Structures are given as structure tokens and as C-alpha cells.
Amino acid sequence: MTRTAIVAGATGLIGRELVRLLTEDAAYDEVIALVRSRTDWEGGRPEELVTDWSESRLESLLRDKLPGADVFCALGTTMKKAGAKEPFRRVDFDYPLTLGRLARAHGASRVLVVSSTGADPKSMFFYSRVKGEMEAALRALGLPELHFFRPSLLLGQRKNDNRPGEKLAEAVSGALPFLFRGPLQRYKPIHAASVARGMIRAARRESAGEHVWESEEIEALSH
């Protein structure tokens, strides 16, 4: 049985790990990366589909790819990169919802989405509120299998994006592991590769319905 993986946000920290792992996974015969421009891949080379994220363009690209596919959505930006709330919301809410609608319409098997610790549509924090609203909107689509992954602070080698705060967090979590026990365990920084492995393993389980994976559960699933 052939298996197709579609990766949105394929050039990001988690997305690149997903592409690398999926192209090495014998269970997947086809790996498709949704990109805005042609990409120089390190490691596995997926099939690239260039999109501007308009729904009509995306549907024309994916209509024949989606039936039975595993759809991995690792889309996300930061307020610093986006520059304002509107473009941030476009990437973190509109694009995942567009992908979810197309997945539902064209018979994808499952959708697996990167969200965030603290996602809550009623949050006083804009970032967490948008993530929560995104989850709620996707949930309302009635997808046959839907997974939300809520990682804490992500660790990994970012391209052209130096974040000293992440280095500090990694050092603290390594030197003072007792700070992240019990209820605080989900706030322990997690490597992007662990998130990607967890997402793929969740997909391989083929478990219908909705699933929410908090950061500590992602870590456990990845091993």
C-alpha cells in the first residue's frame, strides 16, 4: 500500500526535520513539500510544490495528492518576522485552516498540526489565542483523524535565525532538570527533531478521532 506525506511549513525548524525523516521512512512512497520558492534541501529531497497559499492555487496542486494522504502542518511564524498581527494570523491561522478544509474535501486520511503549549482561544496573549482559535477552527471541520502537537520552546539549528534565548533555555534545562518536573514538565524545551519524530509515529498509529499531544507527551512519543 502506497503512502503519501504532505508537509506544510517544510522549510521551518520542524518542517525540515519532517521532510528529512519522511524521505528516509520506507512507509512513505511519496513526500511532498509545500514551499513558496524552490529550496536547497539538505538530506532527503521531496517533491516540491510551489504555492502562494491562495486556496484555488493550493487546491489545484493538491487535489490529486490528498486522497488517503497524511498531512503534516508545521506552519508558524513569530511576531518579529511577521511585523504585525494580521500577517502573523494569516500564517498561523488562515493557512492551516485552508489546508484543513482541502484535506477534508479531498479525503486525506489524517491531519497533524503543530500548535503550541498554552494554546487557548480565550488566552489574553495574542500568540496563544491565535493558536487556540486555529485548533478550534480545524476541530470544527470534522476531520476523520486530527492531531494537535503543543511543543514548548523549540530547540534546533535554525537557518539564518540566531535566537540566544533558546540557547540559554537549553543550557538551563540541561543544568537544572529539576525545574521541569511534575506540572512544569510540559514547559521543558524540546528539540524540533523530537517533535517531528513524534508526529510521524502518531501518523503511523492510524488512530481515528482527535488527539492533543502536550510537550512532555510528544517527547515520550518520539522515543
- Residue 46 is classified by DSSP as P
Q: 198 CB contacts (<8 Å, ≥6 apart)?
A: 149, 213, 218, 219, 221, 222
- Tell me: pLDDT of 220 over 80: yes
| Architecture in CATH for domain 4-157+190-222 | 3-Layer(aba) Sandwich (3.40)
Instruction: List 48's β-bridge partners, or say none.
Output: 33
Instruction: For residues 28-42, give the mean pLDDT.
Output: 91
- Give me the mean pLDDT over the 82-99 stretch: 97
Give the pLDDT score at 43: 66
Which tens digit of pLDDT belongs to each residue from 17-34?
999 999 999 999 999 999
Q: Give tens-digit pLDDT for 190-200.
A: 999 999 999 99
Cα Rg of the chain (Å, integer): 17
Lowest mean pLDDT of 43-47, 86-90, 119-123, 181-185, name the range.
181-185
Spatial distance between the Cα atoms of 68 and 2, rounded to a whole number of angstroms: 9
Q: Which of 13-27, 104-118, 121-135, 153-167 bottoms out in mean pLDDT, i.e. has the lowest? A: 153-167
- How many angstroms separate the CA atoms of 156 and 139, rounded? 29
